[in-house]
Structure 1
Amino acid sequence: MHRRRLSKKRVVNEALRAALAPQASPTMSYEPPVHHTALAPGLDLAGFNRLADELEDQAIIEIATRSAR
């Protein structure tokens, strides 16, 4: 940025355009590792989502009550 005398916005836009432009041969490729897992019997993914929602709701209520004081 400094050497080319460019704004941060221009550098970010150029980087995004370069990364999103179609390329004949990709220069970099990343494949995340695959992990095959199974939940233990009796564990329910929906239950985890409900718990996360409840914890988030509690945090929001706590923040709201603090800011109301």
Structure 2
Amino acid sequence: MPTASSSNRAFTDHLTKLPNSLALSDALEQRLRQQAEGFAVHFADVDRFKQVNDAVLKAIAERLGSALE
């Protein structure tokens, strides 16, 4: 029998501690069972997201560094 702790780990990304795709799938299944009417889910696949994210994080880090000087 799974414990609350192991269940929480199954639904959480170990690095970010944010809900993972399994948590999303579970939440959507619960919503479908509870919802009398339909709903939509939109997924966006951003090309080169890592490059964009890295550039944004670098810019934020540089601004933070300048502010702390």
TM-score under structure 2 length normalisation: 0.36
Determine which structure has the larger helix proportion and give its number.
Answer: 2
Choose 1 or 2 for highest CA Rg. 1
Question: Higher relative contact order by CA 8 Å / sep ≥ 6: 1 or 2?
Answer: 2
Instruction: Tell me the TM-score normalized by structure 1.
Output: 0.36
